[in-house]
Amino acid sequence: MKLAIRKTKKFAQSMALKIRSIYGTFLRVLFFNGRIHPQAARSSVATAARQRMHFAASCVVRKYVSRFVVISLFTAVLVSCQNPSVPKGPLAELPETLLAGNNAQRWYFSNVNLTPPFAQKRDKGINGLATDALFKIRNKLILTTFNGYLVSVNRQKLNDADRIHLARGISAPPAFSRPLVFVSAEKGKYGLQAYDLFLRKVIWKKKGLFSRSSPVLSNGVLFHATLQGKILAFDPVKGKKLWQYESRKRITSNMAMNGDTLIACTPDGLVMAVNGLDGSLLWKNKLPDHLYASPMILRGKVYLADLAGKLWALNCATGKISYQAQTDGAPFYQPCTTDGRLVFAMNSKGQLFAFTPALESRWRLALVGVPMSPVRVTAKHLLVATAQKYTYIIEKQTVQIVQKEKLKHRIDGLFPADGKTLYLIREYDHLEMWQAKGTEQQ
């Protein structure tokens, strides 16, 4: 056994010497064009000195050539591993115009012509209660959940197409600007994140800055309000902060945008207008009662509903009160909504009101329960869901209830995808699809 090991070792040493000899001959031929050869030892002293000089130079050249080759190979390997073609995620189908009418003035208006009555077709668990807004993207619905997920579901089957966990708590719907989606969170580590729907990764995030407000995108700038009372503006692509305004009061509702004027409210009744270009305060007005509902903007006026049952219309340019209306004193928890012609509001007693833009009363309708979400407005109908598990479809022109349903669970939001399809966000973690009766499911 030992003899075999010695023979193997001797053979390996001889092979190493032969390989070294061949490699040395190759270098001599490569760098000195054959001027060095095995008989250099029998040459003259001058020739031997010249050979030694050439050999030293060859060592230096060999060292740097070897380094260059190694670095080049390493760089090529790295480049080849950099995802030469990144597949697009299923959320990457967002159109550029998704924000129009959804994220700036807060109308809660969908210009579709419903064909009631509707009946439930599908019910799907989504592992988390959705925030009160859905976004229709071709054959998918985009939503966020309170347990921190950004979710895409198939519109027909309601099965998950994509699901990304971004935060610990998301209270407000996201904002979109293709291919980016901006998500605010009220707890965790990051209060604002920008997620790239094409690359399927977070491209920037802001530590802290916790919020219960939906981000606002306008004129290529992202606006964000925090629970610490800050209003900030960011470059939506790079995440660079452009300016910051300190209100020093908690902001717990959504902001609204009118041109370059950003409107924000605090729960104690303070209404602020901030210049979206530089963050300077334009005006502020302290209303006598508390405000939980978000502002809504129509025809240059800011519409607000307070906890004393009053509705206010303030001039966007000056902050002065233009109109006001007093109801029976029941608080408003949800914001005003509009179709551009009438202003709608529903109080905690279940009374649904319609006003002109000058806050002149047009009609009143008694429903059952506290509204769970803002009154959703369509071309001809209003959609209402209450805490007493009722849902209503009301015709605006005749003020007739064309469909009323008593369900087993509360509905936290309704979304009209088209004239024949409704989606209902049901407690605690379900999404329902309702279709017009007689409609065959595609």
In order of start, what are the domains of the chain with their CATH numbers?
Answer: 2-80 (no CATH), 96-436 (2.130.10.10)
- Closest Cα partner for 430 from 417, 413, 442, 416? 413
Q: What is the dihedral sign for C-alpha 94, 95, 99, 101?
A: negative
Q: What are φ and ψ of residue 82, in 5° steps?
A: -95, 45
Query: How, if at all, do strands 190-196 and 201-207 pair?
Result: antiparallel
User: Which of the four pLDDT bands, split at 50, 70 and 90, describes residue 33?
Assistant: very low
Q: What is the pLDDT of residue 113?
A: 92
What is the H or E stretch that residue 315 is in? strand 310-315
**Residues 271, 295: contact at Cβ < 8 Å?**
yes
**Separation of alpha carbons 333 and 417, rounded Å:** 25
**Residues 372, 129: contact at Cβ < 8 Å?**
no
**Residues 347, 309: contact at Cβ < 8 Å?**
yes
Q: What are φ and ψ of residue 232, in 5° steps?
A: -125, 150
What's the chain's Rg over C-alpha atoms?
Answer: 34
Q: What is the pLDDT of residue 65?
A: 54
Mean per-residue pLDDT, 41-58: 53
34, pLDDT greater than 60:
no
- Please tell me the number of Cα atoms within 13 Å of 436 on its side-chain side: 12
Q: What is the pLDDT of residue 87?
A: 40
Q: What are φ and ψ of residue 118, in 5° steps?
A: -120, 155
- Please tell me the number of Cα atoms within 13 Å of 74 on its side-chain side: 6
Mean per-residue pLDDT, 247-255: 92
Note the pTM of the prediction, 2 decimals.
0.77
Mean per-residue pLDDT, 126-154: 86
Q: What is the pLDDT of residue 186?
A: 93
- Closest Cα partner for 153 from 119, 193, 122? 122
15: left (phi over 0), alpha (psi -120 to 50) or beta: alpha
Q: In 2-152, which residue ranges form alpha helices assigned H by DSSP?
A: 2-32, 45-80
- Please tell me the number of Cα atoms within 13 Å of 302 on its side-chain side: 32
3-state SS, residue 2 = helix
| Bridge partner list, 143 | 151
C-beta neighbour count of 24 within 10 angstroms = 14
Q: What is the pLDDT of residue 35?
A: 44
pLDDT tens for each residue of 151-178: 888 888 888 778 889 998 999 989 888 7
- Residue whose pair of structure tokens reads 């925090």 in the numeric block: 226
Q: What are φ and ψ of residue 58, in 5° steps?
A: -65, -35
Q: What is the pLDDT of residue 61?
A: 54
User: Which of the four pLDDT bands, split at 50, 70 and 90, describes residue 393?
Assistant: very high
293, pLDDT greater than 90:
yes
pLDDT tens for each residue of 338-384: 999 999 999 999 999 999 999 999 999 999 999 999 999 999 999 99
- Closest Cα partner for 31 from 71, 78, 75, 63? 63
- Closest Cα partner for 137 from 183, 102, 87, 188? 102
Q: Environment class of residue 320 by beta-carbon count within 10 Å: exposed (0-12), middle (13-18) or buried (19+)?
A: exposed
- For 175-327, strand residue ranges (E) read 175-177, 180-184, 190-196, 201-207, 216-218, 221-225, 230-234, 241-246, 256-258, 261-265, 270-275, 281-286, 296-298, 301-305, 310-315, 321-326
